[in-house]
């Protein structure tokens, strides 16, 4: 086989591979906490997957592994079919958004959003265009020159999302980004995030405690139980219409919430059971 044919075969295989794959992943922290047990999960291109579960079930641990910030004790994580070293090319870029906006307090919104591009030495004109487009996408274009402390919590989180989007990620990992916001702001940001996701080639993994948020946003919800953390349900949210206020009031929405609520009850019972054995 020629070199070109081999490359073609390799890239076709990568395109077919899941964006993320957790293969029998276990995590035991140094203090002995068994945070995850045999997690198997494939996430395909373009999915919006939420990780839902009680406190301590390992959602953040799994997300950190997906970001390459933690290593499994056993098992493997695969990104587009490869290891972490293969991440970072233009087609395989990941970005993470944390619960705190983590903005530099002394820098303007624009400077904050520009930071990851400066770190990657993106040429000035290209960076200007990307920063402007990202700020526009989150509705902060007229706030580019202000400092983070002049923004509300919701707007700070928008800036944090703009900073992630500026890197043109193919995979966006979000750890309960709207958990600290009031319900109205959270609903608005959820709707905007869903809109951003639907307009581009983006795979999202989103950690949340909220059943309502998970159903509103996701194409698929993974329910986890604690002690040790594991997947107990994988629920497709098959609601093809627009995700808007009417959807929040609809019968299918309520039905999905009920289904997830039942699984969460099970997750809590199983977690308590495990804890009782210790």
Q: What share of the chain is helix, strand, coil (3-state, %, to 5)?
A: 45, 20, 35
Element (H, E) at 221: strand 220-225
Sites for ligand ATP among residues 4-33 (CB under 6 A): 29, 31, 33
Q: Which of 19, 35, 162, 193 binds ligand ATP (CB under 6 A)?
A: 35
Interface mask toward ligand ATP for 228-247; x: CB under 6 A: -x------------------
Sites for ligand ATP among residues 82-111 (CB under 6 A): none
- Using the minimum distance from each CB to ligand ATP, give the nearer residue, 34 or 45: 34
Query: In this structure, which long-range contacts are made by residues 115-121, counting pairs with CB atoms below 8 Å and at least 24 apart in sequence?
Result: 115/163, 116/163, 116/166, 116/167, 117/166, 117/167, 120/167
Compute the C-alpha angle 21/137/157, nearest 5°: 70
Determine contact, residues 52/213, Cβ cutoff 8 Å.
no
Interface mask toward ligand ATP for 158-187; x: CB under 6 A: ------------------------------
| Closest distance of CB 36 from ligand ATP, Å | 8
Applying CB under 6 A, does 58 fall inside the site for ligand ATP? yes
39/219 Cα distance (integer angstroms): 20
Applying CB under 6 A, does 72 fall inside the site for ligand ATP? no
| Closest distance of CB 209 from ligand ATP, Å | 6
Applying CB under 6 A, does 55 fall inside the site for ligand ATP? yes
CB environment 9-27: b (16+ within 10 A), e (fewer): eeeeeeeebbbbbbeebbb
Instruction: Specify which residues 48 forms β-bridges with.
Output: 204
Applying CB under 6 A, does 214 fall inside the site for ligand ATP? no
Please give the residue ranges that form the binding site for ligand ATP (CB under 6 A). 29, 31, 33, 35, 53, 55-61, 209, 229
């Amino acid at each position: 086989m020629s070199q070109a044919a081999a490359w073609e075969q390799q890239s076709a295989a990568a395109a077919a591979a899941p964006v993320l794959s957790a293969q029998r992943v276990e995590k035991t922290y140094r203090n002995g906490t068994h945070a995850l047990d045999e997690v198997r999960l494939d996430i395909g291109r373009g999915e919006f997957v939420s990780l839902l579960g009680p406190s301590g079930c390992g959602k953040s641990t799994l997300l950190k592994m997906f970001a390459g910030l933690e290593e499994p004790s056993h098992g493997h994580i695969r990104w587009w079919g490869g290891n972490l070293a293969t991440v970072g090319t233009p087609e395989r870029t990941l970005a993470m958004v944390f619960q705190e906006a983590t903005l530099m307090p002394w820098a303007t919104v624009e400077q904050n959003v520009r930071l990851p591009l400066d770190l990657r030495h993106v040429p000035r004109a290209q960076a200007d265009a990307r920063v402007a487009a990202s700020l526009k996408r989150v509705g902060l274009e007229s706030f580019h020159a202000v400092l983070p402390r002049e923004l509300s919590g919701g707007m700070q989180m928008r800036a944090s999302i703009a900073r992630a989007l500026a890197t043109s990620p193919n995979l966006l990992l979000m750890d309960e980004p709207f958990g600290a916001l009031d319900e109205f702001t959270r609903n608005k940001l959820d709707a905007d995030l869903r809109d951003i996701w639907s307009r581009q080639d983006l795979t999202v993994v989103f950690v949340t405690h909220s059943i309502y948020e998970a159903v509103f946003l996701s194409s698929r919800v993974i329910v986890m139980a604690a002690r040790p953390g594991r997947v107990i349900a994988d629920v497709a949210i098959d609601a093809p219409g627009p995700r808007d206020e009417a959807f929040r009031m609809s019968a299918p929405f309520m039905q999905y919430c009920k289904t997830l609520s039942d699984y969460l009850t099970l997750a809590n019972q199983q977690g308590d059971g495990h804890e009782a054995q210790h």
